[in-house]
Amino acid sequence: MASPRPVDLIRAKRDGHSVSADDLTALINAYTADDVPDYQMSAFLMAAFLKGLDADETAALTRAMLHSGTVLDLSHTPGTKVDKHSTGGVGDKVSLILAPIVAACGVPVPMISGRGLGHTGGTLDKLESIPDFRTDLSIAAYKQQLADLGLVLIGQTAEIAPADRKLYALRDVTGTVECIPLIAASIMSKKLAEGIDGLVLDVKCGRGAFMSSEADARRLAETLVSIGHEFGKATVARMTRMDAPLGRAVGNWPEMQESIQCLQGDVEGLDDLMTVTLALAGEMLWLGGEAASPEAGVAQAQEAIDSGAAFDTFARVVDAQGGDVTVVHDPAARAGMAPAGTVAAPATGYVQAIDAFAVGMTAVRMGAGRRVKEDPVDPTAGLVLHKKVGEAVAKGDPLATLYTARTEDIPAFSSAIGEAYTLADTAPPAPDMLLGRYTMEGWTD
């Protein structure tokens, strides 16, 4: 039987009808092979954005994207392979801390990460702020390092879910990014292709997240876990707060430096970051069979930091992937980190809120991120927040230090960061960073 014409599928989805798994597969395969033009796929994506995809369609789309390229076989590596994925946020350097912790505890972590776009940062950009660090390992090298060290940190290769790479680029320029089924299929097609046995999802919710409402974040978590279950992978989602930047550093090297600090056990003033990191690590260790429960996994993760095992694992991975280990042991040795300006508090009071979205977009303008994929990134650009939500401030106190080569714009950057702060006469309650946990058994809070 001949495959349906793309225009027929566009019409069907435009009119609110379901599209069969076979037809979706045929469409994705044809688009990946350049047999369907961008303008027709754009029309289908917009129809899906407006009319939605049901659970069967979302699973079928994920499967088609997954099998558009290589699905890795990691059965040669002993142990239960577990990865983590975050839906993105400002100051979210959790993967950089968590992955070495989990690997040091005996769970292999095959992590394929992405780059930053818009107000959110990307793990690859942060890793590449380490001089000479390579994220472009071959599949063979990826497998070997995972077997040798229990951890590998690379970017998406040409072999992994090529349909997703094409579709994501198209969604980015057609206004169809913020669609839960499309987001879920994109995330899960890449993660399932890694050869994992289990997956922990960090679904961000708040002003600095792609899912700003709790209802949308819950729907995304449920969709992601459902897809994982459909494909026979143990999957857990944690919904975490992303209203203010996570930690104090925003930008690639500033976040890398803060991650190294955390791996060395220097976590004073970083309760929000470490609460999220340890909770996710506990889930990974539980899925990986190294902890009797997620709570027991949290204690094991903390021990990996305290013993130095997590930091040692990270240093070995940096060395294996060609990075300059000198700056891991001595972050101050990294060239190019001269403060360019300081933001002063305009009044005395307490920090009531910090607008993560505003901070993230300012960091992009400073050179730390990209507005389009082709934008260059300054690895040392960014900022460090000296005052976090709930902390007391006296007029004139430094709120943040800025790092940027675009010194002519320092007044505008300083103003934007100052405006991202909300001060009040009384301290707010400490924000709850962990908003919910979802498995196929349902939500727990």
Q: Which residues are catalytic?
A: 85, 164, 171, 186, 190
Q: Are 45 and 182 in contact (CB under 8 A)?
A: yes
- The DSSP string of 236-302 is EEEEEE-SS-SSSEESHHHHHHHHHHHHTT--TT-HHHHHHHHHHHHHHHHHTTSSSSHHHHHHHHH
CA–CA gap between residue 400 and residue 388 (Å, rounded): 10
As a whole number of angstroms, the distance between CA 381 and CA 409 comes to: 13
Residue 10 Cα to chain centre, angstroms: 31
Output phi, psi for 4, to 5 deg: -70, 155
Provide the 3-class DSSP secondary structure of residue 117. strand
Neighbouring C-beta atoms of residue 148, cutoff 10 Å: 12
DSSP code of 3? P
Phi-psi region of 132 (alpha: psi -120 to 50; beta: other; left: phi over 0): left
String of DSSP letters for 142-178? HHHHHHHHSEEEEEPPTTS-HHHHHHHHHHHHHT---
Dihedral pair phi/psi, residue 70, rounded to 5°: -80, 135
